[in-house]
């Protein structure tokens, strides 16, 4: 079969999964962080497994960052925000933006878990003509708010969303998840100033602080620390958490109480959940062998 034999097939709603998401998601949103944490952890483990098999099928991907950001994604989309897989353009939906767009496999796996499209379609990740490109495309993937990939783009767009909600007097909120290496992009600090200036307390910016970027540690490349002081100096309310603790994440995602936008510095481990990938720079976009995937899935089923 050649690429020309494959017809592009649009992604369609997975009705059963969407119904389950609407029901279970409402419960998880309403639950206390402590109550919701065990189930969020279970969903996250499923997403990690899907990330691994998705990357295995594609033979491409950014597995290290996918695994560091998984808990932040799951807690946002399942445990905090009101997304609408039945009507992805519903004007009243909350907005979720993954600014570190190279972690598309984690985003797609989580969107599929919410029913935006069928989970089986993950096997098409990066296949010829697949809507599931290596970086998310909102025109082709329901649930994606803006096309990301080049770093430093999602945050200004999220700021515009939050400002738009304020101008309209609407109560929906926006969460944007950024890579830590991405914080070296100047456009993010432009957005940080704007969001604070306009008092966007309906915006939460989350930094996946795994301390590694593509080639080395962030602190050996272009220092980010003291990252919390930087956010505070830019006028943000800062919350520092363990980015793999679902209770802590859900607590940190609670709306602002200060009238200021909220920055969550989530300390994470790149490659989290797979022992031989954890905190190792080479797993930024290395592709696991079938044997390594088997071992990883085994670790994730314990």
Partner 1 sequence: MTVVAEQTPTFDCRIDFADELITMARADERIVAVCNDSVGSSNLVKFREEFPHRLVNVGIAEQDLVGVAAGLANAGFIPFVSAAAPFLTGRALEQIKADVVYSDRHVVLCGQSPGMAYGELGPTHHSIEDISWMRAVPGLPVVVPADPAQTRAAVRWAAASGRPSYLRIPRFKVPAVTPADAVFETGRATRLAEGGDLTVIAVGTMVSRALDAAALLREQGVEARVVNMTFVEPLDVAEVVAAAEETGVIVTAEEGLVSGGLGAAVAKVVAEHRPVPVRMVGVPTFAPTGSTSFLLDHFGLNADGIAKAAREALGRS
Binding site for partner 1 (CB under 8 A): 91, 95, 137-139, 145-150, 152-153, 155-165, 167-168, 186-187, 190-191, 193-194, 197
Q: Rank residues 24 and 138 by Cβ distance to partner 1 and give the closer one.
A: 138
Q: 83 vs 241, which CB is nearer to partner 1?
A: 83
Of 97 and 277, CB closest to partner 1: 97
Question: Looking at beta carbons only, is 59 or 197 nearer to partner 1?
Answer: 197
User: What is the C-alpha separation between 80 and 197, in angstroms, rounded?
Assistant: 25
Query: Cβ of residue 146: shortest distance to partner 1, in angstroms?
Result: 5
Is 33:71 a contact under the CB 8 Å cutoff? no
Nearest to 179 by CA among 55, 48, 270: 270
Residue 149: name the closest of 62, 56, 70 by CA: 62
Nearest to 154, CA basis, from 102, 98, 199, 203: 98
With a CB cutoff of 8 Å and minimum separation 6, the contacts of 97 are: 145, 146, 148, 154, 157, 158, 161, 174, 175, 176, 177
At closest approach, how far in Å is the CB of 147 from partner 1?
4
Residue 168 CB, nearest distance to partner 1 (Å)? 7
Output the smallest distance, CB 255 to partner 1, in A.
18
The label of the residue with tokens 């520092």 reads 240
Give whichever of 63 and 151 is closer to partner 1, judged by the CB atom: 151
For residues 206, 210, 214 and 217, what is the CA-based torsion angle, rounded to 10 degrees? 120
* d(C-alpha 207, C-alpha 130), whole Å: 29
Give min distance, CB of 144 to partner 1, in A. 9
Minimum CB–partner distance for residue 160 and partner 1 (Å): 2
Side-chain-side CA neighbours of residue 159 (13 Å): 22
CB-nearer residue toward partner 1: 70 or 148: 148
Joined tokens for residue 68: 């560091």
- Of 117, 48, 44, nearest to 77 by C-alpha is 44
Q: Which is nearer to partner 1, 84 or 145 (CB)?
A: 145
């Amino acid at each position: 079969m050649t690429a020309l034999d494959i017809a592009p097939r649009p992604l369609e709603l997975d009705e059963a999964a969407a119904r389950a998401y609407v029901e279970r998601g409402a419960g998880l949103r309403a639950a206390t962080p402590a109550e919701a944490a065990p189930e969020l952890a279970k969903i996250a483990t499923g997403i990690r497994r899907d990330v691994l098999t998705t990357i295995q099928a594609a033979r491409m991907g950014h597995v290290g960052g996918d695994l560091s950001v998984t808990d932040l994604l799951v807690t946002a989309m399942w445990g905090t925000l009101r997304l609408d897989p039945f009507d992805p353009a519903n004007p009243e939906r909350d907005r979720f933006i993954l600014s570190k767009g190279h972690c598309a496999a984690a985003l797609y796996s989580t969107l599929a878990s919410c029913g935006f499209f069928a989970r089986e379609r993950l096997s098409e990740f990066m296949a010829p003509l697949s809507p599931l490109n290596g970086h998310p495309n909102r025109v082709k993937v329901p649930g994606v708010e803006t096309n990301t990939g080049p770093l430093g783009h999602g945050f200004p767009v999220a700021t515009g969303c939050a400002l738009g909600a304020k101008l309209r007097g609407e109560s929906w909120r926006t969460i944007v998840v950024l890579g830590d290496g991405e914080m070296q992009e100047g456009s993010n600090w432009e957005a940080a100033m704007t969001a604070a200036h306009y008092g966007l307390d309906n915006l939460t910016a989350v930094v996946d602080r795994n301390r590694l970027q593509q080639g080395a540690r962030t602190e050996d490349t272009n220092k980010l620390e003291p990252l919390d002081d930087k956010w505070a100096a830019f006028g943000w309310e800062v919350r520092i958490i363990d980015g793999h603790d679902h209770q802590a994440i859900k607590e940190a995602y609670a709306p602002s109480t200060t009238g200021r936008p909220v920055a969550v510095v989530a300390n994470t481990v790149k490659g989290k959940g797979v022992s031989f990938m954890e905190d190792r720079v080479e797993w930024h976009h290395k592709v696991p062998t079938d044997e390594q995937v088997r071992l990883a899935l085994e670790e994730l089923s314990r």
